[in-house]
Structure 1
Amino acid sequence: MLLRVIISPQEIRRLGLQGNFILQFEDPDFGNELCNLTDIKDLPTDRATLKVLFTFSDSVSHSTLDSASLSSPTTTSSVDWPGPFVIPDFSHDVELQLRAANDSHARDGTVIVISKGVKSEILDKLADMISKYTPYPSKDQYESVAKALVAEHPCLEEPGSAKGWYCWVFSLKFKMGNYRQKLMAAGCPAVVVNKRKHGQTSCKAVKKSKKGEIHYLPNLPEGQSAVTLEENRKTMLLEVQKCDPDLQLLDELMTATFSQRRKEIIGDEPLISVVRDRWPALFNERQISGEFNRLVTTDLLQSFLNGLDALVPSLLELYKVAVSSSRRLSLSSVMQCLDKEDTNQNRRTAALLGLPRFFSEDTSDIIKMCDVHGETLDVIMKGMRVGLLIGHEGVLNDAFPLDVSNVAVVVEETIVLHNLRDIPTGFALLMGTIYCLNLEYPRSMRYSFEFLQKVIMKIKTDHCSAKIHGLRNKLLRYKL
């Protein structure tokens, strides 16, 4: 669904809502109580307040959106990068110059000899528009702005460039670098957190917003304060302690306190024990999925499993070729598991566990198999900064258990999620946990995690490393 939201006469935005959702409105006939909207004619004629309840496969809401919060591009609503990018109006004198130059270009193809002042205003205006979506645009986003600029004003084409806009990309990058200094001085959280000097924070290094987070460090919701958010957090603490907590209420409180939680996790970099004490509601499959959706505006399990299923046949074929050519003998034990029991779930598992073996990566402190009746968990989890614990019964003679008892996500030698139903789900929730807790990918498996993000989940697919780019090309050939 696409909403046209008028914030002011000078600022009108297209707001895209993705996924399944229910629209509710305050009905004056029932004392402004919320009612589901089934007909647009039911809305009050003067002014309407809408509420959006996002629903997933379990028909439970994971996120809410109040129309009062639509004025901020950094709230928890999904404000997508526009396609195509809309070029704003410049000052009246600049618009007159461009209009005359566009007319000349249409007659004889001449381009404008742009003055320093005009170019500076164009770049300033574009940088301001870009910053409303993200202070850190990607390569594709820069290019989309440059293309849109030349399409809107053909007189700005570069005669010496094959594409006609190549140098505008470089100018925009330089301008955004300067503009971020202004944003930092103004206190923009997403920029301030990335400008901290080494040694100013404790614990682990900061993972900047480089994994495709759309709402990496959002501002406080409009009309809310740190005091009200803290009250919501305390209400959530009481609710989560109940034997039968209100899941809908927890969803709404988690959404309402999203900005506070991100500020703490990114700004303070607390230990996992502190995060669990302050935000215990986060640590279950439902809320990790909801938090991931708030961060990336993508369904965690759906994007992971759909992307994985599309690549499983090609990956397994690639593993077979690698084993037959004796280039990756460690993959043979993974493939042998399929000879014993070739099910869809085992094929998914083999594809995932074969990745680090294909890249010759060390998984010893990241993926561990354990007998549920064997060693104590403290001994098994020793040295695990982040990873998966896969439980089975009895002695394991294969690369992975064909009958999994339990799968758990571990952070800082502590189980944060458990009783996950299978290994693929465990991998998906591990990715979600890394995003939600702002963790870095384990260095010893960095290529496997990059593949999961950029190829399987299709998040920030640009700027792949050479190794991932090469593997993706191989898989495409196998598909053909």
Structure 2
Amino acid sequence: MSAKLRVILREQIRKLPLPSGIPETVEDLKNIVQETFAIEEDFSLQFQDQEFYGQFFTLLKTCDIKDKDTIKVVPAEPVILESFDSSGADLSEDVGSTASSDTIILSSPRSTSSLRTVSWPAQFEVPTFAFDTELVLQAANEVYQKDGTLLNNPSVKSDILEKLAESIFFYTAYPSQAQREQVAVALIMKHPCLKDPVSFNGLYGWHNSLKYKMGNYRAKVKHLGLPELQVNTLKRKSAADSTPAKNVKKAKKSEVNYLPPPPQGESLESLEQVRVELLYEFKKRDNDSVINDKMATTFSLRRTDVILNKPPVIDFRARWPALFALSQVEEEFRRITLKPLQSTFLGKLDQYTPQLLSLFRRKGGAVGRKLDETLDMLNKDNSIESRREAVVRGLILYLGEKPEGFIKVYQIFDNDDAAAFQEAISTMVLNIFMVSKAKDEGLDNQIGIAIEGEEVLFGISDVAHACAFLIGLTYALELSYPKKLKYTFEVFQKIFLELEDVNLKMSSKVHDLKVMLHA
């Protein structure tokens, strides 16, 4: 039965239609209010009680309101950040009390760093809930095992959602649909009495509740000034993007540390001073240790530059020249994803080489003929570097894309060729280039990377390493993949680096390739 409520906001009085009637729980009603009126901050609800001449009282149960009643949205008080020290003290009492207090604890006893230190787990571990909630669940699970009766307790659901939100936020502020489903599955497997009675698999209600709960939780903790949340507040958006769900800046390619806060005791202003110091340190020889320390310290400032300011590569390189050293591309990728770049990429490339070569040789038609020509290079040089290059070139062809548009080859005989090469660099958007001089015939090619018309890396040993460094730069510089090579880069990311897009399913072409590689 449908219903309507009169809602008092800060500066407006609005009508709230409820086609399915008044929700069973206050939490569900809050979710609807938050989504309908695009409320970003945390809040509570009050209702107008006619028994007390229209005075407002805190809404604890939705049975206290009926169709056409009045409710008021009351913003919550600002929350306080509490951080942990590294003393290893028992924090169980503090953690257990968060569900009933206004203090939000973001840190974990596992780390005092401002960065996340673990990526999303393969198996989500359901946390331990409040003591009374655990007792209720234990009894309800026993009843469910006997006769299949499901638990219907709104207060227990509220505690469960709060604790799950805390656990999810430890890994990511913006869980994907697949991640929320994973949490729901883990919850139902551990506590089958919590199955949703409406959906066929018992998950939909929890999946939907987690979606809204994470929105509430982000609203609660955004007052702490976390950059990954502040960047998506309405006041930070342009007029064209002034809706909560539009142009949300968040991790999309399994970035663990997408937009982290400054280290404890630092600010963007103090980090800017470190950045200036870094410019001088970068000019010194044999100074890798100092450079790496300062690059790690200024990581949050660099991510702020990349994501909020989106400078051209030439300007970003002037501000952060140390990032464009091979070793720092590797380190930056590790800071963002927690994965080693070169060893992961090359390890998977080598692992799948036999299967890929087999697929290439079985391919027929025009693509098959081009693949045969590409693999002929192995007859001249069967070194591991040559084999990797042949596989990369073959992979691009196999996926229906053009390697010559990605890997550019040049030979320089004279000054005119040198000038033409520099002119070609200025037209490259996201490319690997190989250049050799005629007088150096017989020596290895010099390999580099060009982005936005600028040579950003040079002196790379081979094409496979260049591919890995290029994918690392796309993460470090927040770059989109070239449309004409979207399948190639998808394989680089999702198969060779095993980094999924959290909100984008694997394309059918790449999925089919993955299945064949694991057959």
Report the equivalent of 1:276.
Answer: 317
User: Out of 351, 355, 362, which is 1:314 matched to?
Assistant: 355
User: Out of 105, 109, 114, which is 2:144 matched to?
Assistant: 105
Q: Residue 122 and residue 410 in structure 1: after superposition, are their counterparts in 2 closer, same or farther (change >3 A)?
A: same
Q: Which runs of 5+ in 1 are unaligned?
A: 14-66, 396-400
Report the equivalent of 2:25.
Answer: none
1:43-62 superposed Cα distances (whole Å, 9 cap, x missing partner)? xxxxxxxxxxxxxxxxxxxx
1:384-405 superposed Cα distances (whole Å, 9 cap, x missing partner)? 111211123449xxxxx99642
Give 1:175's aligned amino acid: K
Report the equivalent of 1:38.
Answer: none
1:171-199 superposed Cα distances (whole Å, 9 cap, x missing partner)? 32343345445555664322444564586
1:214, 1:295 within 8 Å by CA — same for their partners in 2?
A: yes
Matched, 1:133 2:171: yes
1:309-348 superposed Cα distances (whole Å, 9 cap, x missing partner)? 01111112211111x4444433232122223323222111
1:374-428 superposed Cα distances (whole Å, 9 cap, x missing partner)? 3423312232111211123449xxxxx9964211111111111100111111111
1:359, 1:447 within 8 Å by CA — same for their partners in 2?
A: yes
1:92-124 superposed Cα distances (whole Å, 9 cap, x missing partner)? 664554343234224433221343x54344323
User: Out of 299, 303, 319, which is 1:262 matched to?
Assistant: 303
Q: Residue 110 and residue 321 in structure 1: after superposition, are their counterparts in 2 closer, same or farther (change >3 A)?
A: same
Matched, 1:350 2:394: no
Aligned-partner Cα distance in 1 for 2:182–2:344: 25
Report the equivalent of 1:234.
Answer: 276
Q: Residue 407 and residue 134 in structure 1: after superposition, are their counterparts in 2 closer, same or farther (change >3 A)?
A: same
| Number of equivalenced pairs | 409
Give 1:131's aligned amino acid: F
Matched, 1:87 2:126: yes
Matches within 5 A, 1:50-449: 70-71=111-112, 75-76=114-115, 78-82=117-121, 84-90=123-129, 94-115=133-154, 117-158=155-196, 164-165=202-203, 167-182=205-220, 187-193=225-231, 196-197=237-238, 208-242=250-284, 244-322=285-363, 324-363=364-403, 365-373=405-413, 374-376=417-419, 377-394=421-438, 404-449=444-489
Between the two proteins, what is the percent identity of the paired residues? 34
Aligned-partner Cα distance in 2 for 1:207–1:456: 25
2:401, 2:485 within 8 Å by CA — same for their partners in 1?
A: yes
- Specify the SS of the correspondent of 2:293: helix
Post-superposition shift, 1:473?
1.6
- Specify the SS of the correspondent of 1:132: helix
Report the equivalent of 2:507.
Answer: 465
Report the equivalent of 2:77.
Answer: none
- Specify the SS of the correspondent of 1:417: strand
Instruction: Report the more deviating stretch, 219-228 or 407-416.
Output: 219-228
Post-superposition shift, 1:236?
1.3
Instruction: Report the more deviating stretch, 462-471 or 99-108.
Output: 99-108
Q: Residue 467 and residue 229 in structure 1: after superposition, are their counterparts in 2 closer, same or farther (change >3 A)?
A: same
Q: Residue 306 and residue 164 in structure 1: after superposition, are their counterparts in 2 closer, same or farther (change >3 A)?
A: same
- Specify the SS of the correspondent of 2:272: helix
Aligned-partner Cα distance in 1 for 2:477–2:229: 19
Q: Residue 411 and residue 127 in structure 1: after superposition, are their counterparts in 2 closer, same or farther (change >3 A)?
A: same
1:74-94 superposed Cα distances (whole Å, 9 cap, x missing partner)? x23523435653434545664
1:193, 1:266 within 8 Å by CA — same for their partners in 2?
A: no
Matched, 1:454 2:487: no
Aligned-partner Cα distance in 2 for 1:356–1:84: 33
Aligned-partner Cα distance in 1 for 2:371–2:137: 61
Aligned-partner Cα distance in 1 for 2:442–2:94: 57
Aligned-partner Cα distance in 2 for 1:218–1:386: 27
Aligned-partner Cα distance in 1 for 2:269–2:490: 38
Aligned-partner Cα distance in 1 for 2:444–2:239: 43
Aligned-partner Cα distance in 2 for 1:320–1:198: 54
Post-superposition shift, 1:371?
1.2
Query: Given the two structures, how large is their TM-score scaled by the length of structure 2?
Result: 0.70
Post-superposition shift, 1:357?
1.6
Query: Given the two structures, how large is their TM-score scaled by the length of structure 1?
Result: 0.76
